[in-house]
Amino acid sequence: MTAKHMKTLLLSATLLSSASMAHAEDVTLTVESWRNDDLSIWQDTIIPAFEAKHPGIKVKFTPSAPAEYNAVLNSKLEAGSAGDLITCRPFDASLALYDKGYLASLADLEGIKNFSDVAKSAWITDDGANPFCVPMASVIHGFIYNKAAFESLGIAVPQTEDEFFAALDKIKEDGNYIPMAMGTNDQWEAATMGYQNIGPNYWKGEEGRKALIAGTQKLTDDQWVAPYRTLAKWKDYLGDGFEAQTYPDSQNLFTLGRAAVYPAGSWEISGFNTQADFEMGAFIPPVKAAGDPCYISDHTDIAIGMNAKTSHPDETRTFLNWVASPEFATLYANALPGFFPLSSEPVTLEDPLAQEFISWRQKCEPTIRSTYQILSRGTPNLENETWNASANVIRGTESPEDAAKRLQDGLASWYEPQK
C-alpha cells in the first residue's frame, strides 16, 4: 500500500520535473558562472536573444558565489555533474582545468577566429596551439577625470607625461581639488591602476611582456624600472594621508567631486555613472613624447568554454559561436558598461565614457597585465610582490631601483628563463 503510494509519488515527481523542460526534443544547456551579479542580465537579455535565434536550444544560467566558484566548479567537474558551458577565470585556474581534461579545446571553433592573440592569451595553452575558452570581456585601464574641474582651470586633456604632470601641478596650485584620488592602504590600486596602467607605454605592451616571459628582458631593465620612477612622482599629487586611504575612499573622493583625476579601470564606469553628478571624461595613459605610439592595458577577465564531457557538444558549440558574434558582444557590453567585448568585430556602445575607453583600441596597441601570464605561478608570487613594491614606491619608502631589483630576484628564484 505505502510502497505503491511511494511509486506514484516518485513517478509524478519525475514527470513534474521533466515537464519544466518544456518540449521533449529541446536541449537544455547549463552555464556555470561566478557572476551572480549578472543573473538578471543573462535571464532578461542574453538568453532570450539566443533562444529566439536558436529554437530547440534552451539555456540555463546557474551562477555560484564568486569566492566559492573555483572550489564548487572543481568538485562538480570531478563528479561529472558540471554544466555544459563553463565560465573561465583567466590564466592558470582555467589552464589547470584544460590540462586535467575538463575543458575541451576550441582550436577548430569557427567563432574563435574573431579574436586577436592578446584577447585569447588568457585561455590558451602555453604553446599557443589550443584555445579552450571564448573570451567574453576585458577591462581597460586609463585615467578618468572631472570635466568641470579641468574646464574651470583651463586644463587641456594631457597627451604626454609632461602635460600630465603640468596639469597636476596646476590643480595642486589652485587647491580646490585633490589632484589625484588614490591611496596605498589596499596596495592593489598602486599596482593595478598605477604600475600596470602606465607601464605598457614604457615596456611597449606585448613586446616587453613577452620578452619578460621569454627571459630576454629583466625587471631591472630600464623600461621596467622607469614606470616606478614615474609612480614615485605621484606621491606629491595624492591627497593628505593617502597612506591610509582605502579603495572606497578614493572612489568616494572622486565621485564627490573632491579629486580631479582618478587612475582607473573601466569597471568603475557603471558605479561612477550612478554616483557622480558631474560630467566625466577619460584619457589614455600619457606617452613620453607627443606622437609616440601608445599602449593600453586591455586586460582579459572573463571567458566561456565547453565542458569536455558535455552530452550536447554540437549545441554547446553553437552557443559558443554565438558568444563570439558581434550580437552577443553588443548585448553584453551595453548591459555591463566597462566590461568590453574582446571580439575584433566592431561593437556599438551607448555609454559615452565606455565609448571613450573602447575607442582607444583603434589608436593604441593593447596588452594585458604583465604579471598575470605564467609569471605568477611560483613563490614569491610576482603579482602580489608587485602590489607591495608599487605601494612602497608611491609612499617613497623604497626606491624604484631597489623595488625592481627585489622583484627580479624573487622572480629569478623560481622562474627558469629569468635565472
Partner 1 sequence: MSTPQTEKHPVRWHIAVFLAPAVIVYTTIMILPLFGTLQLSFFRQIDREAVFVGLDNFRTLLLDPRWSASFWNALGNNMWFFVVHMLVQNPIGILLAAILSSPRLRLAAFYRTAIFIPTILSFVIVGFGWKLILSPIWGVAPSLLDAVGLKVLFAPWLGKEEYALTTLSLISVWQFVGIPMMLIYAALLTIPDEIIEAAECDGITGMSQFWKVKLPLILPSIGIISVLTFVANFNAFDLIYSAQGALAGPNFATDILGTFLYRTFFGFQLQIGDPNMGSTIASIMFLIILAGVCFYLFVIQRRLRRYQF
Comparing CB distances to partner 1, the nearer of 30 and 392 is 392
Q: Which of residues 180-219 bind partner 1 (CB under 8 A)?
A: 183-188
- 398 binds partner 1 per the rule CB under 8 A: yes
How is residue 377 written as a grid cell?
A: 605561478
Comparing CB distances to partner 1, the nearer of 318 and 376 is 376
Rounded (10°) CA dihedral 37, 360, 300, 195: -100
Query: If we measure between CA atoms, which residue out of 41, 58, 50, 96 comes closest to residue 74?
Result: 96
226's enclosing H/E stretch is helix 222-234
263 has which bridge partners? 143
- 383 binds partner 1 per the rule CB under 8 A: yes
- 62 binds partner 1 per the rule CB under 8 A: no
Residues ≥6 apart with Cβ < 8 Å to 96: none
298 has which bridge partners? 140
Sign of CA dihedral 62, 68, 73, 76: negative
Comparing CB distances to partner 1, the nearer of 360 and 387 is 387
Q: Which listed residue (180, 261, 391, 404) binds partner 1 by CB under 8 A?
A: 391
Comparing CB distances to partner 1, the nearer of 210 and 395 is 395
- 395 binds partner 1 per the rule CB under 8 A: yes
CB of 280 to partner 1, least distance (A): 20
DSSP class per residue in 27-87: EEEEEEES-GGGHHHIIIIIHHHHHHHSTTEEEEEEE--HHHHHHHHHHHHHHT---SEEE
Q: What are phi and psi of 31, to 5 degrees?
A: -105, 125
Comparing CB distances to partner 1, the nearer of 330 and 388 is 388
- 228 binds partner 1 per the rule CB under 8 A: no
Q: Which of residues 236-275 bind partner 1 (CB under 8 A)?
A: 239-246, 249, 253
Q: Which stretch binds partner 1 (CB under 8 A): 159-167, 208-216, 264-272, 385-393?
A: 385-393
Q: Which listed residue (142, 199, 205, 410) binds partner 1 by CB under 8 A?
A: 410
CB of 95 to partner 1, least distance (A): 12
CB of 67 to partner 1, least distance (A): 11
How many residues interact with partner 1 (rule CB under 8 A)? Answer: 35
Comparing CB distances to partner 1, the nearer of 184 and 343 is 184
CB-CB contact of 67 with 79 (8 Å): no
Sign of CA dihedral 237, 239, 240, 244: negative
- 372 binds partner 1 per the rule CB under 8 A: yes
CB of 202 to partner 1, least distance (A): 22
Residues ≥6 apart with Cβ < 8 Å to 54: 318, 319, 322
CB of 191 to partner 1, least distance (A): 10
- 75 binds partner 1 per the rule CB under 8 A: no
CB-CB contact of 54 with 23 (8 Å): no
Number of CB atoms found within 10 A of residue 363's CB:
10
In eight-state DSSP terms, residue 191 is I
CB of 385 to partner 1, least distance (A): 10
- 376 binds partner 1 per the rule CB under 8 A: yes
Residues that bind partner 1 (CB under 8 A): 91-92, 183-188, 239-246, 249, 253, 371-372, 376, 379-381, 383-384, 387-388, 391-392, 395, 397-398, 410, 413
